[in-house]
Every structure is written in structure tokens, then in C-alpha cells.
């Protein structure tokens, strides 16, 4: 059976990447809108309701508008904006969050794809909160190092123009109100949003979120081995989550961490570094893959009953 798919916002970075994932699928029929009608509400409404699955790759306001156009109860909407990520009426598009989450995605007609920074943070933090290693009221701190493709077309053009000021990494969102914070708090099980600073650097894609843990501020005896084993047990059997062994020579490249090693995959690599006094977790992914379009396709696969990794 062929699944009819429409991408609303087909010219953006996420939309274009979704088209790449779908290009070689023999089980999908892509519905395309004429370029001149991209902003025509009636034309978009018709295609959304003719589809089995519609991906929304739009800013928040536009996503809300498109979601309101759905009349067909059989249409599944998979939204890539921040508009619905903490809305309980929408399933959060992170199957690995729990076994129940995967089952919800199979039946949900409204799915919110996680943010790239949020995916990495949550996948490292949520199992530790669930296990009681990190109490829910712990004020965690984290930073993310990311490629410039996450900033969209304007930022990509600026970097590719080669401006000298863009050669060094740049921290941003220093008002500490990054748009991913609400989902980072809610979906990890925390009651306090983390202190979070993202940093964009002069490479196209790849992302790693580092989160700090201070054993002296946590209950019980917390060691790197205990943190690592907790993550490994939680994600046992997950095809897209790899928890690295402690102190493995392959974790680093001559002492340095490779942020881009998950590029062109839907994989998330989780690492634990440190000692009994100080510990960090590092979660690495492709910000255009598992951090955006790959996650959207994974959710679609679950919803339509295809193999979860098909096309990924």
C-alpha cells in the first residue's frame, strides 16, 4: 500500500532533507504543490487533506495555521516546529523516550518532532532522572556545539559566503531563553529547566550536547560507570542509540571529540567522561538527521507500519 505524503514548507532545510529521504522509497507517493501556490491556503488545505501523512516544515505560526486546516481524520500531521512539543495532545516524536512512547506514535495523528539540541539533551538526561540518579529538581547545566545548518537558509548563506567573523565558534541565545528549553525540561522529567548555551561553529552539520553532573550534589554514590550502565540498560535493543563503553580508545580522536561522527546517520551516540568528582555526558547526533528530518521519517515509519529504520 502506498502512503501519500505532502511536505508543507518544502523549500526549507528540513523539508528538502525529508524529500531526500523519500526519494528512493517505493512505498510513498509524494504530493507536490505548484511553486506559485505555496502560500495559497486553499491549495495547501487540499493537499494536506489528500495526504496520509503531512510534514509541517514551517515557522511556529505557520505550522499552527496548517494544523488548523486538517479536516481529514485519517491524515497524520508530523510537525517539525516548536509549536506543539509540550502539548499533551501531540505525541512527542522521540520513540526511544520510553516503550509507551513508541506505541503512542504508532496510533497518533499529531506528532511533534523534537528539536535537535533537545533530542540530544533529553536522551542523555531522561534515563538518569527516571532512575533517580539525577533528582528531578537538579539544576543541570549543558552546552551544545552545532554546525551552522541548524540556523536555516540565511545562516547557511552567511557561512558559505566566508565572512571572516564566522571563522570562530559563536555562543548565542545568551538571554538563556532558548526555544528548546521547555521541551528539554518537560520531556526529560526535570522540574527546573537547565541552564543551556548553544554554540554554532564553522562546519555544516553535526551536534553534541555536553551536560555536567556533580556527584557531590547527587544522592548515593555516582560514578561514571554507574551513569554509563544506566544509559546502556535503558537503551538496550534500540537500533539508533549507541552507548559507548567507558574509556574506549575510539571515543576520542587523539584526545579530541569529533562532533561530526554521526553525520549522515540517524544514530545518537552517548558518552560518559570523567571521574568520581566530576562527570559529563555527551550526546552526539546529526542535527539534520536524528535532530530533525531523520526523526520525522522515523516517526512516519512507525505510524504507517513500515520498518522503523526504512530509508534511514
The residues carrying an active-site annotation are 116
Distance CA 66, CA 75 (A): 12
Cell 584526545, located at residue: 255
Q: Would you say 217 and 133 are in contact if contact means Cβ atoms under 8 Å apart? A: no
| Cβ contact 108:91 at 8 Å | yes
| Per-residue burial over 123-160, b = 16 or more CB atoms within 10 Å of its CB, e = otherwise | bbbbbbbbeebbeeebebebbbbbbbbbbeeeebeebe
Helix, strand or coil, per DSSP, at residue 114: coil
Q: What are phi and psi of 301, to 5 degrees?
A: -55, -45
Separation of alpha carbons 269 and 251, rounded Å: 10
Q: Which residues contact 287 (CB under 8 A, 6 or more apart)?
A: 116, 146, 147, 149, 150, 205, 206, 207
Vertex 165, ends 262 and 148: CA angle to 5°? 25
Amino acid at each position: 500500500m502506498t502512503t501519500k505524503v505532502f511536505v508543507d514548507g518544502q523549500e526549507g532545510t528540513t523539508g528538502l532533507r525529508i524529500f531526500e529521504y523519500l526519494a528512493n522509497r517505493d512505498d510513498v507517493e509524494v504530493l507536490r504543490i505548484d511553486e506559485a501556490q505555496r502560500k495559497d491556503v486553499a491549495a495547501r488545505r487540499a493537499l494536506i487533506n489528500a495526504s496520509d501523512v503531512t510534514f509541517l516544515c514551517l515557522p511556529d505560526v505557520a505550522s499552527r495555521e496548517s494544523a488548523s486546516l486538517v479536516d481529514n481524520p485519517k491524515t497524520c500531521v508530523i510537525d517539525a516546529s516548536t509549536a506543539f512539543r509540550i502539548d499533551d495532545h501531540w505525541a512527542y516524536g522521540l520513540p526511544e523516550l520510553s516503550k509507551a512512547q513508541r506505541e503512542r506514535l504508532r496510533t497518533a495523528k499529531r506528532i511533534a518532532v523534537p528539536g535537535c539540541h533537545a533530542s540530544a539533551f533529553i536522551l542523555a538526561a531522561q534515563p538518569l532522572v527516571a532512575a533517580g540518579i539525577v533528582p528531578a529538581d537538579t539544576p543541570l547545566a549543558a552546552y551544545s556545539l552545532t554546525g551552522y545548518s541548524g540556523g536555516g537558509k540565511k545562516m547557511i548563506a552567511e557561512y558559505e559566503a566566508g565572512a571572516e567573523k564566522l571563522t570562530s565558534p559563536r555562543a548565542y541565545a545568551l538571554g538563556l531563553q532558548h526555544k528548546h528549553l521547555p521541551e528539554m525540561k518537560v520531556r526529560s522529567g526535570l522540574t527546573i529547566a537547565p541552564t543551556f548555551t548553544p554554540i554554532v561553529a564553522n562546519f555544516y552539520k553535526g551536534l553534541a550536547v555536553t551536560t555536567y553532573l556533580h556527584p557531590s550534589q547527587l544522592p548515593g554514590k555516582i560514578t561514571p560507570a554507574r551513569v554509563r550502565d544506566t544509559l546502556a540498560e535503558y537503551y538496550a535493543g534500540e537500533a539508533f542509540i549507541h552507548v559507548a563503553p567507558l574509556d574506549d580508545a575510539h571515543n576520542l580522536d587523539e584526545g579530541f571529540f569529533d562532533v561530526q561522527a554521526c553525520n549522515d546517520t540517524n544514530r545518537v551516540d552517548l558518552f560518559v567522561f570523567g571521574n568520581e568528582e566530576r562527570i559529563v555526558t555527551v550526546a552526539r547526533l546529526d542535527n539534520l538527521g536524528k535532530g530533525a528530518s531523520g526523526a520525522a521519517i522515523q516517526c512516519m515509519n512507525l505510524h504507517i507500519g513500515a520498518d522503523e529504520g526504512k530509508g534511514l
